[in-house]
Amino acid sequence: MDMKDQMKTEKEQSGQPTPKGMTLGNVWFASKEHGENFIQLIERFKAYKNPEYAAACYVVSHPEIYYRIN
C-alpha cells in the first residue's frame, strides 16, 4: 500500500463509529485539555454512536467553553 492509499483509507474511516468507540483520525485539538475534555464528553453522552453528538462534544470540549457546562 502506498502513502496515497494509506491516507485515503484513514480519511474514509475518520470519525466513523466502531464497535469499541469512534476513530479520531485527523481530529485536531487546540490543547491537550481540549482532547481530554472531548474524551470525557464522548463517554458521558455515548456520543460515539452518533456523529452529530460527537461534533457537538468536540465544540463544547474546548476549554473556554467546557468549564461553563460542569
Closest CA to 57 of 67, 14, 44: 44
Per-residue model confidence (pLDDT) at position 10: 46
Per-residue model confidence (pLDDT) at position 56: 94
Per-position b or e across 16-43, b if 16+ CB within 10 A of its CB: eeeeeebeeeeeebeeeebbebbeebbe
Per-residue model confidence (pLDDT) at position 48: 84
pLDDT digits (tens, 9 = 90+) for 16-66: 555 555 667 778 899 999 999 999 999 999 998 888 999 999 999 999 999
What is the pTM for the complete model shown?
Answer: 0.66
- Sign for the pseudo-dihedral over CA of 45, 62, 30, 52: positive
Domain assignments of the chain as residue spans, ordered by start = 32-70
